Amino acid sequence: MRIHNKLLGQDANSCVLNFCSGDNEDMFAQNLKSQPSDWYYKDKEITYSYNKNGHRCKDLEDINLNNYILFAGCSHTEGVGLKLEHTYPYLLSQYYNCDYYNLSLGGTGIDAIEYNLISWISLIKQKPKFVVVQWPDHSRFLGSYPNYPSLIPNGSWMTDEFGKKFITSAEISGFFYARKYLSYKLITSLIDVPLIEIMFHSLSPYGSTHVSIKKLDLARDLSHAGIKSHQKITEDTIAYIGNKYMHERLHNPT
């Protein structure tokens, strides 16, 4: 990850790739051998088109900033393993007939989400219709290393001694809870449009209510949520927004 135009994005920017780090070519070759002959992804191409800021969406200047949804999250919201048209940010924006910008970055955690949302609020004066944040596992963090220009996403997959030591002790000591609490409070205080929270039910909670991600099928990498799952997230989010506003209208009739 690196900073492009003050926002944190993938190292790769202004490019189109057939694979990405979470959905790589070697893994695909292996999966081809293990999957049935009628596997959906056998002959389907997926392209990852990253804009100038290293985000998987249109360039900022091509977004209708008067009518857009803002997304932030990790690989699930970036849509790793899926065609763009099958991802829930795309589907939601189609449903609401508006544009969208997707700040999501695979492998990242709340530090990247917080950085990008605070920067967005500061840089972009036009507010989104609403913000969708998909909260990742709270133990993820971006590491920086001497003489290496990029930030590296780290998390429970770390194998080096110090990484494991940090994650284990930060979990036991309650540091991850405190960091999450502070970032969550800050993000929710700074966003003054409706905030829709999405997360896997199995993760340690952030706020009190959220839309749960249900993994009904798998994407091309056989790890991330698949087409049906994104369709379900879209439907559940639409229903959640509907209920939320119905509830608010009932209680605030003005």
Partner 1 sequence: MRLVDGFISHDIDGIYNNYGHRCKNLQDVNFHNYILFVGDNLGLRLDLPLEETFPYMVSKKLSIDYYNLCVFNGGIDIIKHNLFLWLKKYPAPKAVVIASEFANALVVSDLNFSFIESAYLKDPIVSDMLEGANMCGFFTGRQFLFSHLIDNCVPCPIYQVLVKDQIPVISSNNLVNVVCDNSEQTLIAEQLYSKIKERIQLARRSV
- Please tell me whether residue 141 binds partner 1 under the rule CB under 8 A: yes
- Residue identified by tokens 């997707």 is 102
State yes or no: residue 143 binds partner 1 (CB under 8 A).
yes
- Is residue 228 within 8 Å of 218, Cβ to Cβ? no
Q: Which is nearer to partner 1, 172 or 250 (CB)?
A: 172
126 binds partner 1 (CB under 8 A): no
Verify binding: residue 105, partner 1, rule CB under 8 A: no
What tokens does 253 get? Answer: 């009739």
Candidate segments 33-41, 69-77, 136-144, 214-222, binder of partner 1 by CB under 8 A? 136-144
Give the per-residue contact string, 180-199, with partner 1 (x = CB under 8 A; - = no): -xxx-xx--xx---------
Which sign does the torsion angle of CA 198, 61, 119, 55 carry?
Answer: positive
Buried-exposed string 190-207: b where 16+ CB fall within 10 A, e elsewhere: ebeeebbbbbbeeeeebe
Residue closer to partner 1 (CB basis): 18 or 168: 168
DSSP label of 6? T
Distances (CA, A) of 164 to 104, 150, 153: 25, 21, 14
Show the site string, 145-164: x = touches partner 1 by CB under 8 A, - = not.
xx----xx-x---x-x-xxx
CA distance 216 to 228: 6
Radius of gyration of the chain (CA): 18
Amino acid at 215: K
Side chain identity at 3, as an amino acid letter? I
CB 18 within 8 A of CB 45: yes
Minimum separation from the CB atom of position 161 to partner 1 (A): 8
The single residue among 32, 178, 193, 239 that binds partner 1, judged by CB under 8 A, is: 178
* DSSP-assigned letter for residue 139: T
Residue 82 in contact with partner 1, rule: CB under 8 A: no
If the CB atoms of residues 187 and 227 are measured against partner 1, the closer one turns out to be: 187
Residue 138 or 220: the one with the smaller Cβ distance to partner 1 is 138
Binder of partner 1 out of 168, 217, 239, 247 (CB under 8 A):
168
- Between 6 and 249, name the residue whose CB sits nearer to partner 1: 6
Which residues sit at the interface with partner 1, rule CB under 8 A? 3, 6, 8, 111-112, 115, 118-119, 122-123, 141-146, 151-152, 154, 158, 160, 162-170, 172-175, 177-179, 181-183, 185-186, 189-190, 204
